[in-house]
């Protein structure tokens, strides 16, 4: 049972205790794999306005401008692939020249979060592996999902790196 739908979505990530906020509004392809399993493919739109604003700021040196352009406006598009069910979410981001990652969340269970940095800053294909603990995983909507909310903690061994809320709104 494979059905695909093109839907406008809003994907946001916010931290409740460290300064992290990211929001992406775009069209996505939602594929229904079976009754309660979905795949969502989302490509972030180009961030030209941020790049132009940084480049035109006379207070920034060329070195800072190059650094910030890479951090804010990657040279390749960011593509997210989410595997969604009421019990587990896997989110993979790839295609960004600066960072790739994969998170696996399950309600009430420690999962993994892996980050791949650019090859010049770490051994090739060797991820940084962290642990996450999912406090809340809620998938609303029937027959197609309308909202996904994942609240989790991120850990590096015994050091907590913050509380995060991932929210995905799918418009119908």
User: Percent of the chain beyond pLDDT 70?
Assistant: 76
pLDDT at 77 over 70: yes
**What is the predicted pLDDT for the residue at 4?**
87
Long-range contacts of 18-25 (CB under 8 A, 24+ apart): 18/161, 18/162, 20/162, 20/164, 24/78, 24/80
**3-state class (DSSP) for residue 53:** helix
| Mean pLDDT to the nearest integer, 81-93 | 96
121 CB-near residues (< 8 Å, 6+ apart): none
* Beta carbons within 10 angstroms of residue 37's beta carbon: 15
Is the pLDDT reported for residue 1 higher than 80? no
User: Could you give the CA distance from residue 135 to residue 150 in angstroms, rounded to a whole number?
Assistant: 8
Of residues 20, 14, 38, 13, the one with CA closest to residue 28: 38
Per-residue DSSP letter, 52? H
pTM for this entry: 0.78
pLDDT score for 118: 76
Of 139 and 58, which is predicted with more confidence? Answer: 139
* Among the four given CATH numbers 2.40.128.20, 3.90.1010.10, 2.40.50.140, 3.40.190.10, the one describing domain 3-170: 2.40.128.20
Q: Rounded distance, CA 69 to CA 58, Å? A: 14
pLDDT surpasses 70 at 54: no
| 86 contacts: CB under 8 Å, gap ≥ 6 | 36, 137, 139
Domain ranges of the chain: 3-170
Most confident residue range from 34-38, 70-74, 88-92, 113-117: 88-92
For residues 5 and 69, the model is more confident at 5
């Amino acid at each position: 049972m494979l059905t695909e739908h093109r839907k406008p979505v809003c994907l946001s990530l916010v931290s409740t205790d460290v300064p992290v906020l990211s929001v992406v509004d775009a069209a996505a392809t939602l594929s229904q794999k079976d009754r309660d399993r979905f795949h969502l493919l989302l490509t972030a739109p180009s961030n030209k306005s941020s790049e132009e604003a940084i480049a035109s700021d006379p207070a920034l040196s060329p070195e800072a401008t190059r650094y910030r352009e890479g951090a804010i406006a990657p040279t390749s598009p960011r593509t997210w692939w989410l595997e969604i069910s009421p019990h587990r979410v896997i989110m993979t981001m790839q295609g960004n020249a600066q960072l790739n990652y994969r998170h696996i969340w399950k309600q009430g269970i420690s999962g993994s979060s892996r980050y791949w940095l650019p090859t010049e800053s770490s051994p090739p294909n060797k991820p940084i592996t962290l642990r996450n603990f999912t406090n809340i995983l809620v998938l609303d909507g029937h027959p197609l999902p309308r909202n996904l909310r994942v609240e989790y903690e991120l850990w590096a061994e015994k050091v907590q790196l913050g509380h995060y809320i991932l929210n995905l709104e799918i418009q119908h």
